[in-house]
Amino acid sequence: MIISAVARPEPTTALPAKIVMERRVHPGAERGFKEWTARFVDSASRFTGHEGASVLSAHGNLYFILLRFASGADLSRWQESAEYAELMGEAERVSQTGEASQVQSGFETWFTLPDLPAPHAPPAKWKMAMLTWMCLLPMVIALSYLLAPLALPFLVNVALSTAIPVSMLTWVIMPRLTRLLYGWLYPVSHAR
């Protein structure tokens, strides 16, 4: 879901939440931006549920700030703090919000495509669950038949039967199915 600098995830969300912020640094404000980024990440790290952060430089004056929280509620608590509001105000003096800022939690990261606009809301949970199950079931069945004759140790068998479907879903199947079923996953009323 695309967010502004102060948008919040659903506070009741118990799933892990990730925030991706794109910032374009004003010319001549690089040092101030780096100092702001350090304070911003430090602020997040002091809040309950913070699980990590990364700051990536894309090209020129473009930066991405990635923060992970244990839940949408944890992320919301930080975003509702006076400290966060003050830091976001400071951010506007040294940079501007880019186009790719968003908050995601749970499976919806499988249902977004980099070359299509991210809708305001993720697909309905029942649609994500049904599509994931419909893709996962045939792979698990096929792998159980393919791996059975190998008589692999239990742990190796389980590792392969989970790693292969997750990899296939993440990099092969879901991107194609999301593109094919985009209109069904994201009804026109939810599109940006």
Ranges of each domain in the chain: 17-110, 125-190
> Which is more confident, 9 or 134?
134
CA distances from 179 to 19, 94, 104, 107, 169 (A): 23, 37, 18, 16, 13
* Assigned CATH for 17-110: 3.30.70.100
In whole angstroms, give the CA distance from residue 41 to residue 192.
Answer: 29
Both tokens assigned to 165: 């479907």
Both tokens assigned to 80: 């509702």
Q: What is the average pLDDT across 160-169?
A: 87
- What pLDDT score was predicted for residue 105? 52
In whole angstroms, give the CA distance from residue 31 to residue 18.
Answer: 26
- What pLDDT score was predicted for residue 7? 44
pLDDT at 182 over 90: no
pLDDT at 5 over 60: no
pLDDT at 9 over 60: no
Low-confidence winner among 98-102, 111-115, 123-127, 130-134 (lowest mean pLDDT):
98-102
H helical segments located in the chain: 30-45, 72-79, 82-94, 125-147, 154-168, 174-180, 182-185
103 close to 170: Cβ distance less than 8 angstroms: no
Both tokens assigned to 70: 């244990």
- What pLDDT score was predicted for residue 94? 93
Both tokens assigned to 13: 């969300």
- What pLDDT score was predicted for residue 192? 42
